[in-house]
Structure 1
Amino acid sequence: MAMDIKDTAHAVEAATVMRLLPARPRLLALGEPTHGEDALLGLRNELFRQLVEQEGYRTIAIESDCMMGLVVDDYVTLGTGTLDEVMKQGISHDWGAFAANRELVRWMRAYNVRADDDGRPLSERLRFAGFDGPLEITHAASPRQALTALHDYLAARVDADLMPCTAETLDGLLGTDDQWTNAAAMMDPSQSMGQSAEASRLRVLADDLLALLDAQAPHLLAATSRNDWDRARLYGRTITGLLRYHYWMADTSSARMTRLCALRDVMMAHNLLALATRGPALVHAHNSHLQREKSRMQMWQGPVEWWSAGALVSAQLDGAYAFVATSLGTIRHQGVDTPPPDTVEGLLYALPDDRCLIDVSGLATVLGDRRPAPRVSPWFGYAPLDPAHLADRDGIVFVKDVPQG
């Protein structure tokens, strides 16, 4: 009997996701085709809860500022602060205001204290991470927070004569934070201080601080907790990534935006690879940051394309990285109506279930030699599936209709 498209659709559950994969990956990524829809975030929460409880995942990472994410991690693991505080201070892009993100953080804290009054052993607790850099397409943060944190960590534990500079030297070179965060620099490279003499000196000192961190690793790991060491490494990655990003913000070449988009995903990839060394992690972000093929975007300087964080991580982890994309039929409140029947989304929209998990290899069998047409979105905030790259996904979560939140 010939395979039917209905045979490729399964319930969106942890067990069905794992059956699509040859083994449990170190990083299991769930992408979304648009930001800010609580229905999609709620589905993420349901699936991630099952994967934590049934498959032993112990870190949940989202597309949010990696430095801010430390505030959330302290709350879910140690109970530091209040839920209201961490949702304001710990999640970037204003996504802490979304009800489903708040529910995720609340549940993570409850999971960690569920065992008894003292909570689960620290080694078994669920961890939170932001894996984006402290930046957005419109601006980038000052490197002050990460640079000062790394310097303080080292200065408290390493002989003063080994330190490459004093805190006062760093403060003088950093200047005021508004020099770094000037939003005009994204459109006008001359407004960036990324190639100033001060920034160049900071890049050298940051490199020296990282070299000292590596050189003193045995002592530092013995003197502090593994968590403190991991955070120091995060500070180092963030410093070098931010200073490199600011440097290229001051660039005037035609490759400027391509390079900046790529550098952001490089920072994401480095953070994900670090999480993978800690144990199995669940990842949530836009499909374009998690896919294995190149990402593409039309910007004011023209089209740009770059390798996404998912592509970079997949190349290094091979089978230890898995990517399940989310696709959808309609977002009518954004003008995204019923997909044309000759698109992948159109074929899936004809299925009876409101949401389902699609076996991509089975879908390829059903399609045979047919080549679905690419869907064109009337709204810039939604990115349809690229039918030419279906095989680069390990599965597809399809949501038929996204209601207005």
Structure 2
Amino acid sequence: MDIDAFGIEAAALLRLLPTGRPRLLALGEPTHGEDALLHLRNTLFRQLVEEAGYRTIAVESDCLRGLAVDDHVTGATTEPLDDLMGRGFGHGLGASAANRELVAWMREFNEGRPSADRLRFAGFDGPLEIHAAESPRRSLTTLHTYLADHGDADLLPCPAHTLDGLLGADARWTEPAAMRDPARSVGRSADASRLRLLADDLLALLDAQAPLLIAAHSREAWDRARLHARTAVGLLRYHHAMADPSPHRMTRLLGVRDSMMADTLLDLAGRGPTLVFAHNAHLQRPRSSLRMTGLPLLHWWSAGALVAARLGEEYAFVATALGTIGHRGVDAPPPDTLEGMLYALPGDRCLVDPAALADRASVPRVSPWFGYAPLDPSHLGDCDALVFVKDLPPRTGQDPASTTPGP
């Protein structure tokens, strides 16, 4: 077949991109929980680090938990790796052998290097699990403490005990039934409404006192405080949407989640070249869609779409497509699908310029398993490059993240 295919190497990938070395290079995956795809990500990141000066990786995991991983890889803490993997990742990702390999390699790479040359780790998802959204307590109280300790405490909108009283028990925020029943959510209560105003005031104070705060402590500490501030505002917005009884509830929740992701990615773009890894649906430029039982097809703008609108060519998206996932009942793709055309190529995996496929007619592939999302042929023109993996190997264990429906 006359399709130009390349080995999956950083140099070949960067040659396909408009700017050569974008600030955010986003690598998507069409399913979660497959270490084969994460090992591929790890190899590509190592090459980007060694050959192109990339120094940060951002993954689809809890942004606040990710701070502990960043401290570990930079040498700021000496926590045992087993303990770190248990508390440093969301969505069950700490159980992944490939994620463990990544963290260990980053720490080893950083040993003896000056701080400006060290690798950095970031989670860019909100503290949102499939069963519940986190209480805003952690982010709000961390932000309040930082402002009280390093800023002008007289300008704080409330004392710490006021926040504590309004927050109440964390269990009312993390009520699992609220994911399906808006009436069980606390997000539109009088306490939650007041907390939204206070969170906005705290964020405004953090920005207004930036010169004082950075001089009193450090830019790194201010950046982390701002992450907590954004997360507090986003969580309260998310809980507010959870209490929405309208038919647009799920669309709003998906949109709020990706908006939180986009804010973190835009902040990371200021660090320099960063590899971003998440589900294709969170990184693509066209509107994303998701089908859930009992609901019409849901559409929202992904984090990638939001970031691309702001960064232009400084954002690049590389989609990943798959041939088979035998242990999930996803067999060889029909030859008239995009995946079927790629499946006919020699080799187990390859890198393809989407332009080589632009004029080839194909029909959308349909997956028999809810956890795998085939690539929409109409999105091909919005990809900067395409990675194809022919066959995923059988799984040897169960990663909790692999059971999560959708992105």
Measured against the shorter chain, the TM-score band is over 0.9
* Equivalence for 2:237: 244
Aligned equivalent of 2:148, options 142, 147, 155: 155
* Equivalence for 2:17: 21
* Equivalence for 1:74: 71
CA contact (8 A) 2:147 2:153 kept: no
* Structure 2: unaligned runs, 5 residues or longer: 396-407
* Structure 1: unaligned runs, 5 residues or longer: 114-118
CA contact (8 A) 2:282 2:303 kept: yes
Give the match's secondary structure for 1:45.
helix
Q: Are 2:181 and 1:185 aligned?
A: no
Give the match's secondary structure for 1:17.
helix
* Equivalence for 1:265: 258
CA contact (8 A) 1:35 1:381 kept: yes
Quick one: distance in 2 between partners of 1:341 and 1:224? 60
Shift of 1:21: 1.1
* Equivalence for 1:116: none
Q: What residue identity is the alignment partner of 2:70?
A: D
* Equivalence for 1:34: 31
CA displacement 1:155-195 (0-9 Å, x = unmatched):
00123321111111111110010000001001111100000
Shift of 1:22: 2.5
Shift of 1:136: 3.0
Quick one: distance in 2 between partners of 1:290 and 1:35? 14
Q: Are 2:323 and 1:329 aligned?
A: yes
Q: Are 2:86 and 1:88 aligned?
A: yes
Give the match's secondary structure for 2:316.
strand
RMSD value over aligned CA atoms?
1.0
Aligned equivalent of 1:320, options 273, 297, 314: 314
* Equivalence for 2:101: 103
* Equivalence for 2:305: 311
Q: What residue identity is the alignment partner of 1:328?
A: L
CA contact (8 A) 1:62 1:130 kept: yes
Q: CA 1:151 to 1:104, structure 2 compared with 1: closer, same or farther past 3 Å?
A: same
Shift of 1:82: 1.6
Q: Are 2:388 and 1:392 aligned?
A: no
Shift of 1:347: 0.4
* Equivalence for 1:357: 351
* Equivalence for 2:219: 226
Quick one: distance in 2 between partners of 1:391 and 1:159? 51
Stretch of structure 1 that moved more, 98-107 or 151-160? 151-160
CA contact (8 A) 1:79 1:109 kept: no
Q: Aligned residues, how many? A: 392
Q: What residue identity is the alignment partner of 1:404?
A: P
Q: CA 1:371 to 1:138, structure 2 compared with 1: closer, same or farther past 3 Å?
A: farther
Give the match's secondary structure for 1:30.
strand
Quick one: distance in 2 between partners of 1:18 and 1:159? 47
* Equivalence for 2:393: 403
Shift of 1:211: 1.0
Quick one: distance in 1 between partners of 2:334 and 2:75? 49
Question: Hey, which bits of structure 1, 4+ residues long, moved more than 4 A?
Answer: none
Shift of 1:79: 4.7
Q: What residue identity is the alignment partner of 1:22?
A: P
Quick one: distance in 1 between partners of 2:38 and 2:153? 48
Shift of 1:139: 1.8
Q: Are 2:369 and 1:375 aligned?
A: no
Aligned equivalent of 2:53, options 48, 52, 56: 56
Shift of 1:301: 2.7
Quick one: distance in 1 between partners of 2:95 and 2:153? 43
Q: What residue identity is the alignment partner of 1:253?
A: S
* Equivalence for 2:7: 11
